[in-house]
Structure 1
Amino acid sequence: MDTWQFVSLGVAALLSWLYWLERKKRLEATSARDRALVELSVKHDLDTLTGALTLEAFEKVLDEATRRADRDGSSFAVLAVSLDNFALIEDGYGEDQSLEVLKLTAQRLDHCAGTSGKVCKGTAGQFFILVSGGATVGTDLADRIKVALAQPYELGDNRAHSTGSIGVAIYPEHGARAKILSNATLAMRSLKNSGGGDYCLYDPKMAVQARDEAVLVNELRLAVEANQFDLYFQPKIDAKSLQVTAAEALLRWHHPTRGFVSPVVFIPLAEKYGLMGPIGNWVIEEACRTLAVWLESGLRMRVAVNISGYQMRQDDLVEHIESVLQRYGVRPNNFTCEITETVAMEDTQATKLTFEKMRKAGFHVSIDDFGTGYSSLGSLRRLPAAELKIDRAFVTDLEESEEARSIAKSVIDMARALNLKVIAEGVETRGQCDVLVQMGCDELQGFLFSMPIRADELQQMAMNRHSEENAEFRDSLYATNFVTNLGSLKQ
């Protein structure tokens, strides 16, 4: 072999070696890139907080489940799960502990779903689950989840409670691929609007109801500006003398085409869609304006206004009420804030602060719908309440139910121990009235004495010293310092 051939072979070997090195580098780079893409894909598919699937990843799982079901004629269930009071947990416990609730919820859902189920984290305390099988499999899983979510959440020194609303939709029975997730969500929302804490299967009627609700909410937004609201007043009666002592303001909506819309229908919608702020402000304003009109005529009567949970969490609620009272010349102790037992027992920083402000302002505070919650002597003692109102559900059954009588008696005894007055609402028969009087109830309210009536009608009754049922108005309701009061209104 001559020198030239030897050099040629050496150059060829060198080029081959360099090519091999370059190819090796490319393969390593490609492998590293593929590993990075896989890791990125895994990170992208999983929620960083809970470890559950992201919505984008869940859509891919739905696509694959749909193809499989179409191919072999099988079914799968999609569950939409929402924590019923997650917004309250956020407000009351702060960001860190509300995120911990989401992590614990995802763990509970993953445990319930097992290895075959796919759990996805949605938004605002919502999750989705896919599991193979029909309605029986879906509802059995929903039942397990309902029990799991009802267990308390241990958050360090705090303990949070919640329930879950669970909607179940079955593919293909309850809709095509494009609709199955939204139909499960629709079932969940329908249940949540009814109180939550349970599960239900999707029904096509829910879509019609959702459209009707959307229209009604839009009309409700315009009701304040369109002057469609009115306040009616129901007298409160002293149990011993049967004299009128005060009145409760009750909101009414007179729709131009629907006619009378029940508060049972529109109040939950107002709370759900954030409309209680403007509506609640209107009620406070109108109640104080009415009090001023009555005072000018010589009638000095305390009026109760229902305060929602949303309002209780507003930072400036008490300041707003004080400014309206001052503008109309109404004394704070003539204004009663009726707050449901459930809201009163929330025990969040926001509600605690509002109660403390109410105490300092001198408002008359009443705990409404009492007997339906979990109050104790200790928790009630911390509230600036002056009275308790027995829930009408127990009053309705007083004559027939020993349990209802026992609850009513317990409430009255508890109130006595705390030096609180007791009012029974929903009194409709003489028998109910007699039982409550014998138990020592202080005041009564209901159709037996008067239907809710307009402000001018109640004022006229007071001026005539009797109502339609010949109930007397207490003498102390008539302002002896009428001239002084009237003068203060003009200042």
Structure 2
Amino acid sequence: MTVKPEQNELDPAALTAPTAAMVKQLEAEKRDLQVARNRALFIDQDSGLLNRRGLAQALKMRAPLDPTGGSTLALISVQLSREQLHNLSADPATHHHVMNQLSQRLGRLCGGELIGAWSDSLLVGITSGFNWAALNDEHHVRLDAIEHALTDSIDVRGVRMRPQLRIGLARPGLDGQLPGQWVSHAQSVALNLAQQQLPLTEALKDSLHATAKRRKLIETGLARALEQNELTLMFQPVQDCATGSICSVEALVRWSHPDLGLIYPVEFVNTAEDSGLTEALGQWVLQHSLSALRSLHEAGFALRCSVNCSPRQFDNPLFAEHCLSSLSVAGLRAGWLEVEVTESSALGNAAATIQSLQRLREAGCSVAMDDFGTGYATLNYLKNLPMDVLKVDRSFVTDIAHNPHSQKIVQAIIDLAHALGLTVQAEGVESTEQMDALLAMGCDRMQGYLLSRPLPLQALLDWLVDQPMRKA
């Protein structure tokens, strides 16, 4: 038996005065709760600095993920040597004083941009003005001044103590794509310099060469990857909370590079845009996602497939027609496709995006807003977007089982979405505690490692055999 996917219709006229008042109230509540939540979760209570979680979040917002090398930011890590850290561990007051002095120095050297405590012995700061594409003697002078300022002696109860430091350097967006990778890279650089007793300026040489080589391989290889099928798709299952059955899968693209190994989209999507390959990449993902979906249906699994769409794709007025044509070629009804957009993409070219989404929904596709809560759209903006599903970002789910502020924010989002006739899907569910909390709040769908990691098609087919679901 074929089960027709549900289709939620949002009628803008249904936004009554009480609902509009709810929108404003929930917006204010979301802001207030977020401030309180940030203070509790992201600030180290002893030093007043951003802690690891707060620093990671701040780095994501401050440091653009720019694999093309356009970033002018530098990440500096400052860590006490193991020997000095061991000596200071017996005197917590002195340890705290030394780290406080170092954080103040790092803050001044970074121009007050962004600093935090990655651990009790590791400080991290971001500074701007590094044009990595055109290094010159000024960069060496600047790094030399940073190293000398940080290692200058510190007054400890009237005695001058020279800090023994490992200082590292990394380039956000180039030395990895996540804050943790940047910090790890900077620590590796620091250890290498310490072992060879080299100055910080030496970090510029090998690191830049390796990064430039990697960037060149990605830039020159993406077109070939599309032609020679080096790209691959992974599929993460989504569970219907009401029935416990698997209702859909999300398609996630990966690049199996012959020299660099597995590359995630955050590292090559910008390259696709700069190279004019966005539409080709998007079409590849769509066509192969629908082909895989057809295989799932033929195996008896009546699942919907969600596909992420780039903001650039909505610039093409024929985007919706291309999607519908691909569905026709695959022999699938429009109701089996869910198109995912982010807040930023919806805001970037709102008129074109809304027009394409309206056309797709009229044909029977469903529309989801991905990573809700991480962009700049107000809750009131939701009423103007033709959509069916609101995906709650994983950052709100991480501590939902234990943090009352997170619980209130997610509950407010779920209540508002339901008032607007939207389905709510939680991302990043990794524990039974998170699942239980979301179920109690009335969440409709969820996905995450608790259910399954993203799987290749054949592995997904094998996994689905033992899962409860609706059969085609």
TM range, normalised to the smaller chain? 0.5 to 0.7
Q: What CA deviation, in whole Å up to 9, does each residue of 1:244-298 have, x standing for no partner?
A: 1111111122222332223333334334443322111101111111222223333
Shift of 1:209: 2.0
Q: Which letter maps to 2:431?
A: T
Match of 2:413 in 1: 411
Q: Is the 8 A contact 2:253 2:264 kept in 1?
A: no
Q: 2:468 aligns with which of 446, 469, 472?
A: 472
Match of 2:279 in 1: 277
Q: What CA deviation, in whole Å up to 9, does each residue of 1:363-400 have, x standing for no partner?
A: 11000000112333431111111011111111112234
Match of 2:396 in 1: 394
Q: Is the 8 A contact 1:166 1:188 kept in 2?
A: no
Q: Determine what percentage of the aligned residue pairs are the same residue.
A: 34
Q: What CA deviation, in whole Å up to 9, does each residue of 1:406-426 have, x standing for no partner?
A: 321221112011110100011
Q: Is the 8 A contact 1:235 1:450 kept in 2?
A: yes
Shift of 1:167: 4.4
Q: Secondary structure at the match of 1:274?
A: coil
Match of 1:348 in 2: 350
Q: 2:138 aligns with which of 173, 189, 208?
A: 173
Match of 1:375 in 2: 377
- Going from structure 1 to structure 2, the CA distance change for 1:351 and 1:138 (only over 3 Å counts) comes to farther
Q: What CA deviation, in whole Å up to 9, does each residue of 1:125-179 have, x standing for no partner?
A: xxxxxxxxxx999976x97xxxxxxxxxxxxxxxxxxxxx864689742279xxx
Q: Is the 8 A contact 1:366 1:388 kept in 2?
A: yes
Task: Report the Cα distance in structure 2 between the residues aligned to 1:209 and 1:255, rounded to whole angstroms.
Answer: 16
Shift of 1:347: 4.8
Q: Is the 8 A contact 2:304 2:336 kept in 1?
A: yes
TM-score, with length taken from structure 2: 0.57
Task: Report the Cα distance in structure 1 between the residues aligned to 2:380 and 2:107, rounded to whole angstroms.
Answer: 45
- Going from structure 1 to structure 2, the CA distance change for 1:332 and 1:406 (only over 3 Å counts) comes to same
Match of 1:421 in 2: 423
Q: Is the 8 A contact 2:372 2:393 kept in 1?
A: yes
Match of 2:218 in 1: 216
Q: Secondary structure at the match of 1:224?
A: helix
Q: 2:236 aligns with which of 223, 227, 234?
A: 234
Task: Report the Cα distance in structure 2 between the residues aligned to 1:137 and 1:287, rounded to whole angstroms.
Answer: 50
Q: Is the 8 A contact 2:391 2:427 kept in 1?
A: yes
Task: Report the Cα distance in structure 1 between the residues aligned to 2:399 and 2:271, rounded to whole angstroms.
Answer: 29
Task: Report the Cα distance in structure 2 between the residues aligned to 1:272 and 1:392, rounded to whole angstroms.
Answer: 29
Match of 1:254 in 2: 256
* Bigger Cα Rg: 1
Task: Report the Cα distance in structure 1 between the residues aligned to 2:232 and 2:174, rounded to whole angstroms.
Answer: 28
Match of 2:227 in 1: 225
Task: Report the Cα distance in structure 2 between the residues aligned to 1:348 and 1:207, rounded to whole angstroms.
Answer: 40
Shift of 1:329: 1.2
- Going from structure 1 to structure 2, the CA distance change for 1:272 and 1:428 (only over 3 Å counts) comes to farther
Q: Which letter maps to 1:411?
A: I
Task: Report the Cα distance in structure 1 between the residues aligned to 2:412 and 2:379, rounded to whole angstroms.
Answer: 11
In structure 1, runs of 5+ residues without a counterpart are 1-83, 85-134, 144-164, 177-186, 196-201, 480-491
Q: 2:320 aligns with which of 318, 321, 326?
A: 318
Q: Is the 8 A contact 2:313 2:319 kept in 1?
A: yes
- Going from structure 1 to structure 2, the CA distance change for 1:266 and 1:348 (only over 3 Å counts) comes to same
Task: Report the Cα distance in structure 2 between the residues aligned to 1:357 and 1:424, rounded to whole angstroms.
Answer: 26
Shift of 1:351: 2.0
Task: Report the Cα distance in structure 1 between the residues aligned to 2:281 and 2:365, rounded to whole angstroms.
Answer: 20
Task: Report the Cα distance in structure 2 between the residues aligned to 1:194 and 1:276, rounded to whole angstroms.
Answer: 22
Task: Report the Cα distance in structure 2 between the residues aligned to 1:363 and 1:166, rounded to whole angstroms.
Answer: 46
Q: Which letter maps to 1:174?
A: H
- Going from structure 1 to structure 2, the CA distance change for 1:328 and 1:211 (only over 3 Å counts) comes to same
Q: Is the 8 A contact 2:390 2:423 kept in 1?
A: yes
Shift of 1:450: 1.1
Q: Is the 8 A contact 2:311 2:348 kept in 1?
A: no
Task: Report the Cα distance in structure 1 between the residues aligned to 2:326 and 2:265, rounded to whole angstroms.
Answer: 24
Matches within 5 A, 1:130-141: none
Q: Which letter maps to 2:295?
A: V
Q: What CA deviation, in whole Å up to 9, does each residue of 1:416-459 have, x standing for no partner?
A: 11110100011110011011111110011011111111223323
Task: Report the Cα distance in structure 1 between the residues aligned to 2:222 and 2:260, rounded to whole angstroms.
Answer: 12
Match of 1:445 in 2: 447
Q: Secondary structure at the match of 1:173?
A: helix
Shift of 1:222: 1.1
Task: Report the Cα distance in structure 1 between the residues aligned to 2:216 and 2:109, rounded to whole angstroms.
Answer: 28
Matches within 5 A, 1:298-317: 298-317=300-319
With CA pairs under 8 Å and 6+ residues apart, which has the higher RCO, 1 or 2?
2
Q: What CA deviation, in whole Å up to 9, does each residue of 1:323-378 have, x standing for no partner?
A: 11011111111100011122123353322332232233321100000011233343
Matches within 5 A, 1:165-204: 167=130, 172-174=137-139, 204=204
- Going from structure 1 to structure 2, the CA distance change for 1:272 and 1:166 (only over 3 Å counts) comes to farther
Q: What CA deviation, in whole Å up to 9, does each residue of 1:17-56 have, x standing for no partner?
A: xxxxxxxxxxxxxxxxxxxxxxxxxxxxxxxxxxxxxxxx
Higher deviation after alignment, 211-220 or 244-253: 211-220
Q: What CA deviation, in whole Å up to 9, does each residue of 1:92-140 have, x standing for no partner?
A: xxxxxxxxxxxxxxxxxxxxxxxxxxxxxxxxxxxxxxxxxxx999976
Shift of 1:242: 1.9
Task: Report the Cα distance in structure 2 between the residues aligned to 1:262 and 1:188, rounded to whole angstroms.
Answer: 16
Task: Report the Cα distance in structure 1 between the residues aligned to 2:437 and 2:264, rounded to whole angstroms.
Answer: 30
Q: Secondary structure at the match of 2:328?
A: helix
Q: Does residue 1:364 correspond to 2:369, yes or no?
A: no
Task: Report the Cα distance in structure 2 between the residues aligned to 1:406 and 1:167, rounded to whole angstroms.
Answer: 41
Task: Report the Cα distance in structure 2 between the residues aligned to 1:349 and 1:384, rounded to whole angstroms.
Answer: 12
Matches within 5 A, 1:9-48: none
Task: Report the Cα distance in structure 1 between the residues aligned to 2:264 and 2:349, rounded to whole angstroms.
Answer: 30
Q: Is the 8 A contact 1:234 1:248 kept in 2?
A: yes
Q: Secondary structure at the match of 1:374?
A: coil
Match of 1:87 in 2: none
Task: Report the Cα distance in structure 2 between the residues aligned to 1:166 and 1:382, rounded to whole angstroms.
Answer: 40
Higher deviation after alignment, 385-394 or 448-457: 448-457
